[in-house]
Amino acid sequence: MNIIFGGGLFRALRLSLAFLALVLGLATFACAASPNAGPGAVHVLTADGDVNPVMDRYISRGIGAAEDENAAAVVIRLKTPGGLSTSMDSIVERIVNSKVPVIVYVWPSSGRAASAGTFITYAAHVAAMAPGTNIGAATPIDASGSDIGGDLGNKVKNDAVAKIRALAELRGRNADWAEDAVRKGTSVQNSEALRLHVVDLVANDLDDLLKQTDGRQVKLGSQAEIKLQTANAPVVYNDQNFIEDFLNLIADPNIAFLMLSLGSLAIFIEFVHPGAIFPGVFGVISLLLGFFALSVIPFNWAGVALILFAFILFGLEVFIVSHGILGVGGAISLVLGGLLLTSDNPPGFQVSKLLVFGLAAFLALGVAVILTNVLRIRRMPAKVGVETMVGRRAVARSPLNPTGFVFVNGEYWSAESETGEIPAGSAVIITAIQGLKLKVKRTEPEGAKA
């Protein structure tokens, strides 16, 4: 094969990768630890964004830290447009079973607790809102963002209604309004929510919240009611640590799709271009990051398999000329894989169709260019083609035992030794050409340079 890649670019990228690894390593050591304020403190969490597995992990960790410290209460400052029902269910379960009181505070002004956020707020021992906030619009939707119709829609809505009415009964809040929020998508602003007893209070800020909640009676599980003591309690902020921030950054279907695609492409390049370290390193890291991102996003394994299979087809197209059939199959496989990868998720958790088709077209074009060059070389007349390379010197870029790769005229070629094993770095001479493979023999001691 004669595929050319710039060595200077690889060196620069290797240095960038090493620097990135150093930064990530130092940042990992700088991860925020759980607060250690002692018993009786109020732990404040900030849940801002989509309800997803990362938020679930963060809230679970925060409540666990408060339980370990015998905290007076946990305040979850919540701002969310909604998210995954599976993550919502997990968060609700964690709040309901918490061993310390949990106060959900819809915050800041202009924020909202929509959709899944409504369920989380209803699960709290104390539900509060800041001025200028709203809550509601909790109707379940399908993966396309549309209403779920038919019998399935009725089942999903009835299940959601039963769930939120159970929470309303548990906390003594307005169950009828909660049902309307699910069935009709009803939403209200803070003062109306207080009047309808959707929430327990409206507080201007955190200090006001802790003053208003002080002395309230709440019940933890099957225990007797306890009195909140929050007015003069120490306040500690348990923010997301580096790992959670990093997960939030990459927990995006588009990033996961890119990492899987680019990682597979880089590993394919390493196979056809051995000796350049960066593609292999980058490919492995990209695949690991892609699967790391998928660990916090619901996904379809069939989509992953199709994406990986696409690059197998692209690779085969380079080695086995099928007149484009394998390349077209790879593009189709990549498109189907991207579309299936997160097809069951809500719209905000799906891979962009524009990204899927754009990347597939780009890669198919790249494979077509490579294929065209291979065919052009094969069809060259012998007097100006590869036959003129017989007798030229080359350098072994990988051990020839008996096959490997040599570098000649600025290109990498597959080669086979006629004189036994030849170490990498040895000078060789081309003795014959069979198809796209060179026959070579060693001419100089190990370590010679071309």
* Long-range Cβ pairs for the range 171-176 (8 Å, 24+): 171/122, 171/123, 171/124, 171/125, 171/127, 173/122, 173/127, 173/197, 173/198, 173/199, 173/200, 174/198
- Does domain 37-243 sit in CATH 3.90.226.10? yes
What pLDDT sits at residue 359?
A: 86
DSSP for 215-254? T-EEE-TTSPEEE---TT--EEE----HHHHHHHHH--HH
Q: If you average pLDDT over every residue of the chain, what do you get?
A: 83
* Long-range Cβ pairs for the range 213-216 (8 Å, 24+): 213/73, 213/103, 213/126, 213/128, 216/126
What pLDDT sits at residue 71?
A: 97
pLDDT in tens, 273-316: 655 566 777 888 888 888 888 877 778 899 999 988 988 887 77
Amino acid in the structure at residue 313: L
Q: For the whole model, what pTM was predicted?
A: 0.70
Taking 70 as the threshold, does the pLDDT of residue 104 lie above it? yes
Q: Where in the chain is the domain with CATH 2.40.50.140?
A: 386-442
Greatest mean pLDDT among 36-40, 42-46, 152-156, 407-411: 42-46
Cβ neighbours of residue 369 closer than 8 Å, sequence gap 6 or more:
none
Domain 386-442 CATH (choose: 1.10.510.10, 2.40.50.140, 1.20.1250.20, 3.90.1010.10)? 2.40.50.140
Our answer to whether residue 184 is catalytic in this structure is no
Mean pLDDT of 216-244: 92
Environment class of 225 (CB within 10 Å of its CB; exposed 0-12, middle 13-18, buried 19+): exposed
Which residue among the candidates 16, 109, 146, 155 is catalytic per the annotation?
155
Q: Are 372 and 323 in contact (CB under 8 A)?
A: no
pLDDT in tens, 112-121: 999 999 999 9
Q: Are 443 and 417 in contact (CB under 8 A)?
A: no
What pLDDT sits at residue 274?
A: 59
Which residue among the candidates 90, 115, 187, 261 is catalytic per the annotation?
115
Q: Walk across the sheet containing 126-129 and list its strands.
A: 201-202, 126-129, 102-106, 73-79, 42-48, 235-237
pLDDT-based confidence at 441, cuts 50/70/90?
very high
What pLDDT sits at residue 12?
A: 36
- The rounded percent of the chain whose pLDDT value lies above 90 is 45
What pLDDT sits at residue 360?
A: 84
**How far apart are alpha carbons 310 and 24 in whole angstroms?**
31
Taking 70 as the threshold, does the pLDDT of residue 16 lie above it? no
Our answer to whether residue 85 is catalytic in this structure is no
Q: Where in the chain is the domain with CATH 3.90.226.10?
A: 37-243
Taking 70 as the threshold, does the pLDDT of residue 245 lie above it? yes
**How far apart are alpha carbons 390 and 345 in whole angstroms?**
58
